[in-house]
Structure 1
Amino acid sequence: MGKELQVVMLPWSGFGHLMPFFQLSIALAKAKVHVSYISTPRNIQRLPKISPDLQPFIHLVPIPFPRLDPDFLPEGAEAGIEVPSEKSENLHIAYDLLQTPIKHFIADQMPDWIIADFAAHWAVEIAKEYGILLAYFIISSAAASVFFGPPEYLTSANRNYALPSPQSLTSPREWITFPSLVAFKEHEATNVLQWAFAANSIGISFTSRIAKIISTSQVLAIRTCNEIEGDYLEVYKKITGKPVIPTGVLPPDQPGKREKGEINSDGAMFDWLDKQKPRSIVFVGFGSECKLSKEQVHEIAHGLELSELPFIWGLRKPISANTDEVDDFLPSGFVDRSSEKGLVCFGWVPQMEILGHPSIGGSLFHSGWGSVIETLQFGHCLVVLPFMYGQPLEARLLVEKGLAVEVKRNEDGSLSRDEIAKALRLAMVEEEGEHLRSNARKAAAVFGDHKLHQDHYIGAFVDYLKNNVAN
């Protein structure tokens, strides 16, 4: 019997990356692959518990950042959620300082594969030095990767290609050979050039990191499936010239059924949900790293009020709120006026348990890929309001596939309460939105099919990893 496969996981220090890498680790462990998952101590403490049967296969490896000046990164900050946006570049610099201890760990363990995130561009040199195979795991949609294009389009190192202009990012790319809506709007394009293509203080941009890993990886693994993105996966194979393997969407395990009257810290919230009609409630949530302004929070609140739909809103403190007082978060009197119709929950909420409740029928959210997967496995209709990074591309993919309605913004990118209300009503109750509701229910059969994603997609990925080690 051959040696069991050993892999090392190198996720970026953001929740939207830590969790997909953890879910991939769980899926590989179920296929009897030995996984070493490396992150900082605090990030590792936040991961869900691993079931006893999988513990022999998953080794969580905490490697701390070196001692850093509190002016550089706030004390104890190890993930994007804890770092103010003006210091987010410093988190990349701190992450790059993990290179040496990670190299020592890899040299000691000598795994068969390194499975790296975009940020770990230095894994390329480590893999080369020790003759270890490298896989790039892409946690977002295939459509977003296709839009950004092959490595030579991601960096100005190749002088045949100039860096894109904002205008060039506002229409589908020339290598997409079918009708596509996947592109940025004008008000988004300038920001994209700044966060994606501009070099940071250590001289390497987001896209340069990606280009380096794509160019040297043996395989590109993407958290998607042919049923949803077969067309984009084919284009990505063609433009990169690499093996492109969908891992399936890695749907998280659905929460166990909660008994009515069960006592827990969220009891009041679930008691309220228990009293609502099936599929009548909109869940509103913008994730842990999407920092809304007070103006945006107010416009969303007014939009919810105008829609006259019942809602539950997991709301985090806006970046411009001066106090922890609710009146500083929300329009004056909003909580009282909406108390019959809606529930506002401040801080962290158990999103999966809420989405799994029978009274939820739709979700207003940022269209981050992880939340798309969580929401569609329950067959809820999607109202998308993207804010950052590649979220606009995911939003337009969902609209293109008939799975979502996107909230229209004003030309300058500001929010309109009327458009929020209009999109919510279309998705949740109006007759013209029935095709969206029907498509979302059909999508649940794909996104919620754990056997398809584990046996078919992860099975094929593991076969690839094993066969290439053997070769």
Structure 2
Amino acid sequence: MLPYLAFGHMIPFLHLSTALANSGIRVSYIISPENTKKLPSIPPHLSPLIQMVQLPLPHVDGLPDGAEANVDISMDQIPYLKIAYDLWKQPIMHFIEHNTPDWIIHDFAPYWISDIAREFNIPHILFSIFPASVYSFFGPPEYLAEPSKYWTSPERLSSPPEWITFPSTVAFPSYEAPYVLAGFFGTNASGVSDSKRIATCISSCKAVAIRSCKEYEGQHLDLLETLFRKTIIPVGLLPPAVPERRKSGGGGAGGEEEWEATFKWLDERKPNSVVFVGFGSESKLGKEEVYEIAHGLELSGLHFLWILRKPMWAVDDNDALPLGFKTRTESKGKVCMGWAPQVEILSHQSIGGTLFHSGWSSIVETLQFGHTLVVLPLVIDQSLNAALLVEKVVAVAVERDSKNGSFKRESIARALKKAMVDVEGERVRVRAREMKKIFGDIDLNQDYIDGFVQYLRKDS
């Protein structure tokens, strides 16, 4: 298993590793030492089947010391992390040469894995941590490898492409399209664009495994077979296991006592009355954005639990929020700085909705409990995810400026009230609860894993 070094990638790869190990498959999970410390621990009964292979990440000028994941760096430093990742090729090749796996399952970034697979005659599978709708939007690998064949302007990114023949609203907002065109298709400091990396992986792999299911996006999965001319294997949604309710917390800036108090606070709220607010570990929100979210929460009058990682621009935790915000909202909400047991929080009966960035992992974690979604996408795939959620009437989008994508506190408050309490949002709440039958169905998702395991055993 070879994930890219971002937690939105490493965690799904770990979930897939656990699912495969549960089926009796031995897994070697390639990871760097610092990231190993931050990943969830392997369930004890599976530890004999999952080997965490720690390979040091080569040093690269432009990366801070100890930076081994997107979470450790600013947006403009990410290409340098990809340089270090590409230098991983030699130690990974050495490991594969001496361990001869039956399969290599990898992320989008290691476009060079085809060289290793060819040299040692090992089949490889691209595992997409994104839903099929993201890949189907971008089209066949030749358009990813050579964007000039189709992706010639931002305007093309702002509407569904010609190969999507069924009704669809999945596209980028006009304010984001220029950045996608430059950032996704353009060459960066690593020397290889993200679109080129993906195209190379698709062209050389034996199959593409997708973290998704036909019940959610069957048309997009079927379309991928045509676009990629490869076997497409949905592996299910990989919903994380719900941990038993803890007697005390653990982790986080405040340690166990803070989490014990937080869950006690949740216990005292009415069912489905609290908004969970979280934008992932790697989102880079600006000061004005964080402050508008804060004021919007206050303006909504709803109960909220906000998990906020201290932004790089903040001097300290207090500077990360508007002056007096915590005091003014102490009867309505809680702000927890740093790490949080997100799945455990989302499983609590008082949580009724989520304000978030619409990352795919967070969508899965939220819909497995049937919570209403309020979407505020920030980068690349998140806008496409959000568009499909709104299309399926399971999410409310925060209204934004059509020219620059900015948002105001009033828009945050309106979206939250619509999703949580207003009559006009009732259909969204009903549809979100219905999604629990897909996203939270253990047997359904296990059937997809069983199908993937059957494919691996048959073709190895």
Tell me the residue number matched to 1:206.
194
**1:3 equivalent in structure 2:** none
In 2, distance between residues paired with 1:143 and 1:67?
36
1:74-153 equivalence runs, <5 A: 74-153=64-143
Match of 2:30 among 38, 41, 46: 38
Task: Kindly report which structure 2 residues correspond to 1:51-90, keeping only aligned pairs within 5 A, or say none.
Answer: 51-69=43-61, 72-90=62-80
8 Å Cα contact 2:33/2:55 also seen in 1: yes
- Post-superposition CA distance 1:52-77 (Å, at most 9, x none): 221221111000012445xx211111
- Alignment correspondent of 1:425: 417
Is 1:318 the counterpart of 2:331? The answer is no
- Cα displacement (A) at 1:84: 1.9
Could you tell me how far apart the structure 2 residues matched to 1:358 and 1:267 are?
A: 16
Match of 2:348 among 354, 357, 364: 357
Mean alpha-carbon deviation: is it higher for 311-320 or for 336-345? Answer: 311-320
Separation in structure 1 between the aligned mates of residue 275 and residue 312 of structure 2, nearest angstrom: 24
1:99-137 superposed Cα distances (whole Å, 9 cap, x missing partner): 001001111111111101001111011001111101000
Contact 2:299 2:409 (8 Å CA) reproduced = yes
The aligned residue for residue 298 of structure 1 is 291
Report matched runs for 1:37-436 at 5 Å.
Answer: 37-69=29-61, 72-156=62-146, 161-259=149-247, 264-321=257-314, 323-326=315-318, 328-411=319-402, 412-436=404-428
Shift of 1:264: 4.7
- 1:19 matched residue in structure 2: 11
Alignment partner of 2:45: what SS? Answer: coil
Amino acid aligned to 1:348: W
Aligned-partner Cα distance in 1 for 2:372–2:156: 31
Q: Does the 8 Å contact 2:108/2:198 carry over to 1?
A: yes
SS at match of 1:266: helix
The reply on whether 1:457 has 2:417 as its aligned counterpart is: no
CA positional deviation for 1:332? 2.3
- Tell me the distance in 1 between the aligned counterparts of 2:437 and 2:341: 23
Q: What whole-Å deviation, never above 9, does each CA across 1:177-229 have from its counterpart, x for those lacking one?
A: 11111000111101111220111234210000000000111101000011101
Distance 1:260 1:200, change over 3 A: closer
Q: How far apart are residue 409 of structure 1 and its match?
A: 0.5
TM-score (norm 2): 0.96
> Greater shift after overlay, 162-171 or 130-139?
162-171
SS in 2 for 1:186: coil
Alignment CA distance shift 1:67-1:302 (3 Å): closer
Q: 1:36 to 1:260 in 2, by over 3 A?
A: closer
CA distance in 1, matches of 2:145, 2:204: 15
Contact 2:248–2:257 under 8 Å retained in 1? no
Answer whether contact 2:249 2:259 (CA < 8 A) is retained.
no
- Contact 2:248 / 2:259 at 8 angstroms: preserved in 1? no
| Counterpart AA for 2:280 | G
Deviation at 1:47, TM superposition (A): 1.9
Deviations 1:235-270 (A, max 9, x none): 111111111010000010001134599965411111
* Separation of aligned partners in 1, 2:299 and 2:378: 22
Aligned partner letter, 1:56: P
The 2-side partners of 1:30 and 1:305 are apart by 45
In structure 1, how many angstroms separate the alpha carbons of the residues matched to 2:140 and 2:116? Answer: 23
The structure-2 alpha-carbon separation of the partners of 1:468 and 1:319, relative to structure 1 and needing over 3 Å to count, comes to same
Contact 2:102/2:123, CA 8 A, preserved across alignment: yes
Contact 2:213–2:235 under 8 Å retained in 1: yes
Provide the identity percentage. Answer: 52
Q: 1:329: Cα distance to partner?
A: 2.0
Distance 2:14 2:36 in 1: 10
Q: CA RMSD in A?
A: 1.6
More off after superposition, 402-411 vs 45-54: 45-54
Alpha-carbon distance in 2 for matches of 1:49, 1:409: 39
Structure 1 residues 239 and 325 mapped into 2: Cα distance closer, same or farther (>3 Å)? Answer: closer
2:355 is aligned with what amino acid? L
Q: Contact 1:292/1:319 (CA < 8 Å) preserved in 2?
A: no
- TM-score w.r.t. the length of structure 1 is 0.94
Find runs of 4+ consecutive structure 1 residues off by over 6 angstroms: 260-263
* Whole-angstrom distance in 1 between the partners of 2:24 and 2:180: 40
Take 1:261 and 1:465, find their aligned partners in 2: how far apart are those partners? Answer: 39
Question: Who is 2:253 aligned against?
Answer: none
Instruction: Tell me, in whole angstroms, the C-alpha distance in 2 between the residues paired with 1:13 and 1:317.
Output: 21
- Superposed CA deviations along residues 256-305 of structure 1, whole A, max 9, x for unmatched, are 13459996541111121111111100000101000111100111111111
Which residues of structure 2 form unaligned runs of 5+?
Answer: 251-255
Distance 2:124 2:104 in 1: 5
CA distance in 2, matches of 1:115, 1:325: 39
Q: Is 2:125–2:208's contact at 8 Å kept on the other side of the alignment?
A: yes
CA distance in 1, matches of 2:104, 2:152: 31
Distance in structure 1 (CA, Å) of the matches to 2:307 and 2:279: 8
Q: Deviations over 1:77-111 (max 9, x none)?
A: 11110012221110000011110010011111111
SS in 2 for 1:420: helix
- Write the deviation string for residues 398-421 of structure 1: whole angstroms up to 9, x where unpaired: 111111111110121111211111
Distance 1:437 1:168 in 2: 33
- SS of 1:61's partner is strand
Q: Does the residue aligned with 1:187 lie in a helix, a strand or coil?
A: coil
Cross-structure match for 2:20: 28
Deviation digits for residues 394-443 of structure 1, max 9, x if unmatched? Answer: 00111111111111101211112111111111110011111111111111
Q: 1:225 to 1:274 in 2, by over 3 A?
A: same
**Deviation at 1:151?**
0.3
SS at match of 1:423: helix
